[in-house]
Structure 1
Amino acid sequence: MRRPGRLLAEGVALCVAVVVAFPLYWMVLGAFRPAGEIGSTAPRPWTSSPTLDSFRRVFGQQEFGRYFANSVVVAVSVVIASAFIAFLAAVAVTRFRFRFRTTLLVMFLVAQMVPVEALTIPMFFLMRDLGQLNTLGSLILPHIAFSLPFAIWMLRGFVKAVPESLEEAAYLDGASRARFLWRILFPLVLPGLVATSVFSFISAWNDFLFAKSFIVSDTSQSTLPMALLVFYKPDDPDWGGVMAASTVMTIPVLVFFVLVQRRLVSGLGGAVKD
């Protein structure tokens, strides 16, 4: 017999899951609905005549493949660069003693608290001065900068959990610092790297603000979220195309999440333990 408190908790969790999943279900449903049902004044939570017309319009767009490739380049670059830099920075602030270390850690938190919208205009002028407007670099660099504070703080707990005696034993066996970092420490903190990589990937993949702000004139450098604007017209929006494009955008995120699910759970568990 299950306790009433546990049944109540499971019921609440189920209700929350339904509320969270319903917009995703409605998006996928809208992608398969015919145009007549999408514009109906009496929407139903099902469709009696599913169609692939919206997906045909999406994949029929000439630049859709380029947008998809640009999103992959940006997301993968952000994940790899932020994970590499965050790992080295987490080791530095955990293993080394230097002046203003605490101040540096506090600055990481402060940087994480600043709203992205407040920094968009200053970053626009910075990218303009660096000559990076209308390039994928203008999307990669800001996302790396915004991913690092969270990644460093999270990885710091994993690095700190590795006993220093293990490092000393490796040095006694003749291992160099670089060998210890990449052959011993890196595999131990890999679950934390996977967890931070998921957040970095989602942030870079779903970004619309930076893509809209920094890709001013060269649409060939746009990413997948910008493809939604092709189907959204103020006078006559193609909601079926918007829902189909959003569904296609969601698939890589789900695939990436499924591939790293086990390491993600262990990584978040390690972060909670710390």
Structure 2
Amino acid sequence: MRELATESSVLTVDTAPPAPVLAPPPADTPATARPRPGSPPRRVLRWALIAVVAIVMLTPLYLLVLNAFKDQQDILASPFGFSGGLTVDHLVQAWSNPRFNIAKGYAITILFVVLVNVFSVFLAGPVAYVIARSTRRRFRVLMLFFLAGTFIPSQVLVIPVVYVLKTLGLMGTIPGYVMFETTLTLPFSIFLYAGYIRTVPTDIDQAAAIDGCGRYRTFWQIVFPLMRPVVATMVILNTFSVWNDFVNPQTILGPSSGLYTVTTGIYAAVGQYQTDYTVVFPTLLLAIAPLLVFFVIMQRHIISGLTAGSTKG
């Protein structure tokens, strides 16, 4: 009996079906293979696109910097080349141009930049806080009203503003110009501030209220310090806007006021019947040099401020 049991178990083992053999997955054919996101063709295409955009953006700056150190004949003969020698005499002459005191233009423009940024922060911040913390429908409508202001070009508003400023006696004055420039910065500032404040937890406001803080004190002492990234971004953008503006100061201030910014001063330095490039290019370089330095130093705050309110918490 034992021998039969042993033989039966052996037969059972020997007659078991073989395990199935898994076939290897079919390899991708060249027709169906796709390049991965990090593949060399895509990297080459991406860097080529970046190079083209960089060349297009840097070519005007290259022309400006190069021709600021060249003579009139060399600029006309070869604006992209280094024919002839380079000299700093034209920059010195542009600095002491009798038709445009660039140091005074710097001072007036910086004054406008500081005033516009200060008024913009103190006006847009509380308004954005009220809109962001309120759940009433009328405040949402008010937000849409401010947002619609971002789509109106400032040049369209110049003529109505001129009539208003003349009526108020502020035409050709610093307060009139600062009021207009501050108004232009409010729509986007309120929109950006409100979006950032919505990411700040409301528990902070409730804790401040328990400690006896009113809404005004809660905003300036607790919420506003948390808005540092977005405030820095708006200060940078407003600085660019005020510094590069030409139509508004030329129209509101006017030549008769004796007040000119960097951009309007450049226009005054250019001759009426001829164009002297040894005056135009050095003056333009002196006008944008501080802004370029400011941008290089503060550029990281632009991206960080714009993306700071994109996530919750």
TM-score by length of 2: 0.80
Q: Choose the corresponding residue for 2:79, options 36, 39, 43.
A: 43
Structure 1 residues 16 and 124 mapped into 2: Cα distance closer, same or farther (>3 Å)?
same
**1:158 aligns to 2:196 (yes or no):** yes
Structure 1 segment 24-39 matched on structure 2, within 5 A: 24-39=61-76
**1:229 aligns to 2:267 (yes or no):** yes
- Structure 2 regions of 5+ residues with no counterpart? 1-35
Tell me whether 93-102 or 193-202 shows the greater mean CA deviation: 93-102
Kindly state the Cα deviation for residue 176 of structure 1 after the two structures are TM-superposed: 4.2
Structure 1 segment 11-22 matched on structure 2, within 5 A: 11-22=48-59
Q: Choose the corresponding residue for 2:171, options 133, 136, 139.
A: 133
Between the aligned partners of 1:102 and 1:180, the Cα distance in structure 2 is 22
The one-letter code sitting in structure 2 at the alignment partner of 1:103 is V
Q: Which has the higher helix share?
A: 1
1:227–1:245 CA contact under 8 A, matched in 2: no
The one-letter code sitting in structure 1 at the alignment partner of 2:42 is G
Between the aligned partners of 2:89 and 2:268, the Cα distance in structure 1 is 16
Structure 1 residues 129 and 78 mapped into 2: Cα distance closer, same or farther (>3 Å)?
same
Deviation track 1:120-151 (CA, whole Å, cap 9, x = no partner) reads 11111111112122222232111111111011
2:105–2:265 CA contact under 8 A, matched in 1: yes
The one-letter code sitting in structure 2 at the alignment partner of 1:59 is W
1:64–1:224 CA contact under 8 A, matched in 2: yes
Secondary structure, counterpart of 1:221 in structure 2? coil
Kindly state the Cα deviation for residue 16 of structure 1 after the two structures are TM-superposed: 0.8
The one-letter code sitting in structure 1 at the alignment partner of 2:86 is P
Query: Residue 108 of structure 1 corresponds to which residue in structure 2?
Result: 146
Between the aligned partners of 1:135 and 1:27, the Cα distance in structure 2 is 33
Between the aligned partners of 1:116 and 1:262, the Cα distance in structure 2 is 28
Secondary structure, counterpart of 1:43 in structure 2? coil
Kindly state the Cα deviation for residue 103 of structure 1 after the two structures are TM-superposed: 1.8
Between the aligned partners of 2:177 and 2:298, the Cα distance in structure 1 is 24
2:70–2:87 CA contact under 8 A, matched in 1: yes
1:54–1:244 CA contact under 8 A, matched in 2: yes
**1:56 aligns to 2:89 (yes or no):** no
Secondary structure, counterpart of 1:71 in structure 2? helix
Structure 1 residues 243 and 121 mapped into 2: Cα distance closer, same or farther (>3 Å)?
same
CA-atom RMSD in angstroms: 2.2
1:66–1:220 CA contact under 8 A, matched in 2: no
Kindly state the Cα deviation for residue 217 of structure 1 after the two structures are TM-superposed: 4.2
Counting aligned pairs with the same residue, the percent is 27
Query: Residue 84 of structure 1 corresponds to which residue in structure 2?
Result: 122
Between the aligned partners of 2:75 and 2:309, the Cα distance in structure 1 is 44
Between the aligned partners of 2:236 and 2:52, the Cα distance in structure 1 is 25
Query: Residue 29 of structure 2 corresponds to which residue in structure 1?
Result: none
Deviation track 1:82-112 (CA, whole Å, cap 9, x = no partner) reads 1221111110111134452122111112221
Secondary structure, counterpart of 1:260 in structure 2? helix
Deviation track 1:21-57 (CA, whole Å, cap 9, x = no partner) reads 21112111121112221232x4334355111122122
2:67–2:75 CA contact under 8 A, matched in 1: yes
**1:9 aligns to 2:49 (yes or no):** no
Between the aligned partners of 2:45 and 2:284, the Cα distance in structure 1 is 34
Return the structure number with greater relative CO, CA threshold 8 A, min gap 6.
Answer: 1
- Structure 1 regions of 5+ residues with no counterpart? none
- Number of positions where the alignment pairs a residue of Structure 1 with one of Structure 2: 273
Tell me whether 246-255 or 199-208 shows the greater mean CA deviation: 246-255
Kindly state the Cα deviation for residue 162 of structure 1 after the two structures are TM-superposed: 0.2
TM-score by length of 1: 0.90
Between the aligned partners of 1:177 and 1:138, the Cα distance in structure 2 is 31
Between the aligned partners of 2:55 and 2:210, the Cα distance in structure 1 is 55
Between the aligned partners of 2:198 and 2:94, the Cα distance in structure 1 is 48
Kindly state the Cα deviation for residue 270 of structure 1 after the two structures are TM-superposed: 1.9
1:231–1:238 CA contact under 8 A, matched in 2: no
Between the aligned partners of 1:175 and 1:7, the Cα distance in structure 2 is 58
Structure with max Cα Rg: 2
2:128–2:190 CA contact under 8 A, matched in 1: yes
Between the aligned partners of 2:285 and 2:175, the Cα distance in structure 1 is 26
Between the aligned partners of 1:75 and 1:213, the Cα distance in structure 2 is 18
